Structure 1
Amino acid sequence: MQLQRLLVVIDAEHQQQPALQRAVEVARETGAELHLLQIEYHPSLEGSLLDSRLLNRAREAIVRQSCEHLRTRVAHLSDEGFQIDVDVRWSKRRHEEVLARVAALQPDILFKSTHPSSTLRRLLFSDTSWQLIRRCPIPLWLVHDTEPRGQSMCVALDPLHSADKPAALDHQLIRTSQALQAALGLHAEYLHAQAPLPRSLLFDAEVAQEYEDYVTQCSREHREAFDKLIAQHAIDRAQAHLLDGFAEEVIPRFVREHNIGLLVMGAIARGHLDSLLIGHTAERVLERVECDLLVIKPDGKG
Structure 2
Amino acid sequence: MKFERLLVVIDPEHEQQPALQRAAALARKTGAELHLLQVDYHPSLEAGLLDNRLLTHAREAMLLQRREELTARVADLGAEGLKIAVDVRWGKRRHEEILSRAAVLQPDILFKSTHPSSALRRLLLSDTSWQLIRRSPVPVWLVHDAQWNGQRLCAALDPLHSADKPAALDHLLINTSQALQAQLGLQAEYLHAQAPLPPSLMFDAEVAQEYEDYVTTSAREHRQAFDALIAQHAIDKAQAHLLEGFAEEVIPRFVRKHNIDLLVMGAIARGHLENLLIGHTAERVLERVECDLLVIKPGGKE
Question: With structure 1 as the length reference, what TM-score do the two structures score?
Answer: 0.96
Q: Which moved more, 1:220-229 or 1:147-156?
A: 147-156
Trace 1:19-168 onto structure 2 (pairs within 5 A).
19-168=19-168
Query: Cα offset for 1:46?
Result: 1.2
Range 278-287 or range 31-40, more displaced: 278-287
SS at match of 1:288: coil
CA–CA separation in structure 1 for the residues paired with 2:12 and 2:179: 31
Find the counterpart in structure 2 of residue 249 from structure 1. Answer: 249
Report the Cα offset of residue 47 of structure 1: 2.6
Aligned length: 301
2:240 is the alignment partner of 1:227: no
Gaps of 5+ in 1: none
Partner Cα distance (1:49, 1:196) in 2: 62
Does the 8 Å contact 1:153/1:188 carry over to 2? yes
The more displaced of 100-109 and 248-257 is 100-109
Query: SS of 2:287's equivalent?
Result: helix
Post-superposition CA distance 1:217-264 (Å, at most 9, x none): 000000000000000113110000000110000000000000000000
Which residue identity does 1:155 align to in structure 2?
A
Letter in structure 1 aligned against 2:88? V
Superposition deviation, residue 150 in structure 1: 4.1
Listed one character per residue, the Cα deviations across residues 188-239 of structure 1 (whole Å, up to 9, x for unaligned) are: 1000000100011112222111111000000000000000000011311000
The amino acid of 1:22's aligned partner reads R
* 1:270–1:277 Cα contact (<8 Å) kept: no
Q: Which amino acid in structure 2 is aligned with residue 19 of structure 1?
A: A
SS at match of 1:82: coil
Is the 1:269–1:278 Cα contact (8 Å) retained in structure 2? no
Give the gaps of 5 or more residues in structure 2.
none
Deviation at 1:145, TM superposition (A): 0.8
Percent identical pairs in the alignment equals: 78
Residues 206/273 of structure 1: CA separation in 2 closer, same or farther (3 Å cut): closer
8 Å CA contact 2:138, 2:300 repeated in 1 = no
Relative to 1, partners in 2 of residues 1:46 and 1:110: Cα closer, same or farther, differing over 3 Å?
A: same
Residue 139 of structure 1 contacts residue 295 of structure 1 at CA under 8 Å; is this kept in 2? yes
**Aligned AA (1:294):** L
Q: Are 1:258 and 2:251 counterparts?
A: no
Change (3 A) 1:300 1:257: closer
Q: Name the CA shift for 1:260/1:174 in 2 (closer, same or farther; >3 Å).
A: same
Deviation at 1:273, TM superposition (A): 7.0
CA separation in 1, counterparts of 2:89 and 2:274?
22
State whether residues 270 and 276 of structure 1, in contact with CA within 8 Å, keep that contact through their aligned partners in structure 2: no
Corresponding residue of 2:206 = 206
1:36·1:85 contact (CA, 8 Å) conserved in 2? yes
Preserved contact between residue 267 and residue 280 of structure 2 (Cα < 8 Å): no
Runs of at least 4 residues of structure 1 off by over 2 A? 272-283
CA distance in 2, matches of 1:280, 1:272: 12
Q: CA–CA distance in 2 between the matches of 1:204 and 1:134?
A: 38
Structure-1 residue corresponding to 2:9:
9
How well do the aligned residues superpose, as a CA RMSD in angstroms? 1.6
